[in-house]
Amino acid sequence: MIRPMTLPFIVLGLATFALVAWYSRVVGMQLGNPAIVTGYTLFVLMILLGLFNMRKRLSMVPVGRSSLWLAFHVVAGVLAIAMFWLHTGALWPTGLYEQVLAALFYLVSITGIFGYLILRALPRRLTQTGIEVIYERIPAELGEIRDKVEALTLECTEKTGSDTVAQHYIGTLNWFFRRPRFGFSHIVGGDAAGHWLRGPGSAARRYLNDVEKGYFDQILELGTLKTQIDRHYACQDLMKKWLLLHVPLSISVILLSVWHLLLVNVYAL
C-alpha cells in the first residue's frame, strides 16, 4: 500500500524519468550524446540519495521529517535504477571499469531494498514483544536476567536439598542464558526460542516436587523475558549493521562516478 506522503514523490519521479527520457531522445536525434543527459541526471540522483545518510546524522537539525526523507529516498532510489538502465542501455554494460561500477551500483540497490524491507517489518515485530529495550543496554539486561536465574537456582538447591534444578541449569539452561540465541528465528518472526523453552528447556520439570516447580517456573518466566530481549537484539542489530554494508558501497559508487565523469570530460576535450 502506497503511503499518502509517498505519492507526490512518485509523481515527481515518473515526471522526471519521462522528461529525461524524452530530452535524451531529442539530443540523440540532433546527433548529440544522450548519455551526457542521463549520466548527469543519475549522478545528481546519487548525490541526493547520499544526503539521506547526512540527514540521519543531523537528526537534531530541523530539515524535514525523517519519514518524508525516507519516502524521497525510496522513490529516488527506484528512479536511480531506472535512470541507470536508461544511461547504459542495457542491464549489464561493456568495459571492465563500467562493469565494476555497475556491480557496485547493483549491490547498493540490493542492500537498499533489503534495508527498506527490514525497516518496514522489524519495528512492527519488536512492538509485538510488548517491551522496549535500548540496544546498548541489552548485554546488561541479559546479564541481570542470568544473575537472577543463577540466584534462583542456588536458592532452590539450598532450600530443597535437591540439585535437580541446578543440574538442569548447568547441563541445558546455561547454554540459553549465556548469550542471545535463535537470532535468525527472531528476525523472520519464528518462535524457535519458545519451542526450545517448552521442550528441552522444560524437560526437567516433570521430575521436580512442588517447591522446585515454583522456582523452576520463575526461571522459565525469566527465559520468556530473555526471549523477548533476544528478539530486540537480533532485529535491532540487523537494522544497525546493514548500514555498515550499504553506506560504504554507496560512497564507493559516488567516488567511482566522479572519476567516471572526469574521464568522460577529459576524453571529450
What is the distance of C-alpha 27 from the center of its chain? 41
| Residues 125, 246 share a domain | yes
Per-residue model confidence as pLDDT tens for the chain (269 residues): 566 778 888 999 999 999 999 999 999 888 788 888 999 999 999 998 888 776 665 554 555 677 788 888 899 999 999 999 999 988 898 888 889 999 999 999 999 999 999 998 999 989 989 999 999 999 999 999 999 999 999 999 999 999 999 999 999 999 999 999 999 999 999 999 999 999 999 999 999 999 999 999 999 999 999 999 999 999 999 999 998 999 999 999 999 999 988 887 777 65
| Residues 118, 13 share a domain | yes
pTM: 0.84
Q: Residue 8's pLDDT is what?
A: 86
- 50 belongs to a structural domain: yes
Compute the distance between CA of residue 213 and CA of residue 157 in angstroms, rounded to an integer.
Answer: 12
- 217 belongs to a structural domain: yes
| Residues 257, 177 share a domain | no
Range of the domain at 28: 7-129+242-268
Compute the distance between CA of residue 7 and CA of residue 13 in angstroms, rounded to an integer.
Answer: 10
| Residues 112, 59 share a domain | yes
| Residues 157, 214 share a domain | yes
Q: Residue 94's pLDDT is what?
A: 85
| Residues 106, 41 share a domain | yes
Residue 91: all three cell numbers together: 542491464
**Domains contained in the chain, number:** 2
| Residues 222, 178 share a domain | yes
Compute the distance between CA of residue 103 and CA of residue 186 in angstroms, rounded to an integer.
Answer: 31
| Residues 147, 57 share a domain | no
Cα distance between the two ends of the chain: 49
Compute the distance between CA of residue 8 and CA of residue 62 in angstroms, rounded to an integer.
Answer: 21
| Residues 250, 232 share a domain | no
Q: Residue 174's pLDDT is what?
A: 96
Residues in the chain: 269
Residue 78 near residue 13 (C-beta atoms within 8 A): yes
